[in-house]
Amino acid sequence: MRIEAVRGDITEQDVDAIVNAANSSLMGGGGVDGAIHRAAGPQLLEECMELRRTDLPDGLPVGQAVPTAGYALRAPWVIHTVGPNRHRGETDPALLAACFTSSLDVADAVGARTVAFPAVSAGVYGWDPAEVARVAVDAVRGWTGDVELVRFVLFDDAVLAAFTRAL
């Protein structure tokens, strides 16, 4: 598997699946979640609402992942995961690692071969980007399956530098 880190906007990535740093409600929010919902269009929220009505009445647990279509995005799939929130005392790196491995499991299950990740939990959820980078890189390197490319897409130079160091 090839693993790379680039600076950019994840909504513009030409990959099979982009991962969303969502919250348990799946009802959208700020940061990368808001950007993905804006770029995908209103059908994304409709599919998320349907997921809440059916499979996920209590929301998506931290560390798990679920797929939807990408609608107006170039990526045919969006994989929603929920990172641990440091402001709520969620400081276990294993929970953060699970976001990356469960997203790759979902990518594999839908047949996605190229996957873009943001720095899950490194924004509103308060994790140090350097720790996110170490946990993410270790988790992806330790995962086995048919995904061929993982691209970390980082919004600013400091977070890109953290991922470049971790790689």
Cβ 99 to ligand AR6 shortest distance, Å: 9
Our CB check for ligand AR6 shows the closer of 114 and 121 to be: 121
Burial label for 52, CB within 10 Å (0-12, 13-18, 19+), is middle
Q: How far is the CB of 74 from ligand AR6 (least distance, A)?
A: 13
Among residues 33, 55, 92, 128, the one annotated as catalytic is 33
Minimum CB–partner distance for residue 81 and ligand AR6 (Å): 9
Interacting residue ranges for ligand AR6, rule: CB under 6 A: 9-11, 21-23, 29-33, 35, 83, 118-125, 153, 155, 159
Q: Is 14 a catalytic residue?
A: no
120-132 b/e with 16+ CB inside 10 Å = b? Answer: bbbbbbebebbbb
Task: Give me the least distance between CB of 153 and ligand AR6, in Å please.
Answer: 5
CB 5 within 8 A of CB 164: yes
> Which of 11, 103 has the CB closer to ligand AR6?
11
State which residue, 147 or 159, has the beta carbon closest to ligand AR6.
159
Q: 136 with 120: CB under 8 angstroms?
A: yes
Give the sign of the dihedral formed by CA 123, CA 127, CA 129, CA 134: negative
77-82 vs 17-22, strand pairing mode? parallel
**Residue with smaller CB distance to ligand AR6, 49 or 146:** 49
Residues annotated catalytic, as ranges: 33
